[in-house]
């Protein structure tokens, strides 16, 4: 299997170019294998980019544990880079089909290659039934939730996939590594959830650490950055344009409190290679 390793703000994925190469028969197993940072390529997951009859291309995302995700902002920017750099799509503006529907991407090109991109992420979903989260009312904003011996205020929002946003004085390891996995699998979230721990640094800046559903802590999360800004904007903690600082780098999120979200950030190719998984696949299937 030929692949391209790419990252957006250090949120890294193994990409398979379905315009050129065959896609893996069992992407759930393949994602677990290639994501392993000691015995595989090392990544937060696997992304398949393939032709689409309804858009310029289609993107499918598989987390490091093999589960399929609806959307990935950092991955989508990298998918757009792959499509443009390989000239599968000639225009620097394209539409890519995702599990959250078709999304528009504007590539920022330098010397013929994409260096960054802006995604029209669509409107955030706040209706609890559509996030989904098992909470009453029209919005789940700053709702007290009991988890791991604490009662914490959680804002539930979908920016393509479910998120639980928690404002903290400091996003410490205790928050991220102890509370994060418990919130991910909290009974309130029937499809599990991503979790953002957010420190407000000013009207135009947030610091965020993310516990991602199916992957654990990652160095950045595009949909999570958007969710953090939506929650902060609803609480009147930030203005319309916010720089979100994550361990892997900065992303820019624009949201005036209504309408669609715009997410801008880097898209970087790391290396290319060939994955030969035959013996490891057998071991993985037996273990599962």
Residues annotated as catalytic are 72, 221
Give dist(CA 195, CA 286) in Å, integer.
31
Name 283's Cβ contacts closer than 8 Å, sequence gap at least 6. Answer: none
With H, G, I as helix, E, B as strand and everything else as coil, classify residue 174: helix
What is residue 213's DSSP assignment? T
What is residue 82's DSSP assignment? H
CB 274 within 8 A of CB 3: yes
Give dist(CA 27, CA 30) in Å, integer.
5
What is residue 104's DSSP assignment? E
Give dist(CA 176, CA 217) in Å, integer.
7
Q: Where are the beta strands (DSSP E) in the chain?
A: 2-8, 11-17, 45-50, 57-63, 68-69, 93-98, 101-110, 113-122, 143-147, 150-158, 162-167, 194-202, 205-212, 216-218, 241-246, 249-254, 261-266, 268-274
């Amino acid at each position: 299997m030929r692949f391209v390793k790419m990252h957006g703000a250090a949120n890294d994925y193994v990409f398979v170019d379905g315009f050129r190469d065959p896609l893996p028969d069992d992407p759930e197993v393949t994602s677990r294998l290639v994501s392993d940072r000691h015995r595989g390529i090392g990544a937060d997951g696997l992304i398949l980019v393939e032709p689409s009859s309804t858009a310029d291309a289609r993107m499918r995302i598989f987390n490091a544990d093999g589960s399929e995700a609806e959307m990935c902002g950092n991955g989508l920017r990298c998918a757009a880079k792959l499509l443009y750099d390989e000239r599968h799509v000639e225009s620097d503006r394209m539409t890519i089909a995702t599990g959250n529907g078709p999304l528009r991407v504007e590539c920022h090109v330098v010397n013929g290659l994409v260096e960054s991109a802006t995604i029209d992420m669509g409107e955030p979903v706040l209706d609890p039934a559509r996030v989904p989260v098992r909470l009453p009312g029209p919005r789940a904003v700053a709702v007290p939730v009991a988890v791991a011996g604490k009662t914490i205020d959680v804002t539930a929002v979908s920016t393509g996939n479910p998120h639980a946003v928690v404002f903290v004085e400091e996003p410490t390891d205790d928050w991220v590594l102890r509370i994060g996995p418990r919130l991910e699998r909290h009974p309130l979230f029937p499809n599990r959830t991503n979790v953002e721990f957010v420190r407000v640094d000013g009207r135009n800046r947030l610091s965020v650490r993310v516990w991602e559903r199916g992957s654990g802590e990652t160095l950045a999360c595009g949909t999570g950055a958007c969710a953090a800004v939506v929650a902060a904007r609803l609480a009147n903690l930030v203005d319309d344009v916010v720089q979100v600082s994550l361990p892997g780098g900065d992303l820019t999120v624009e949201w005036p409190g209504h309408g669609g979200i715009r997410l801008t950030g880097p898209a970087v190719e790391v290396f290319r290679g060939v994955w030969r998984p035959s013996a490891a696949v057998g071991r993985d299937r037996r273990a599962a």
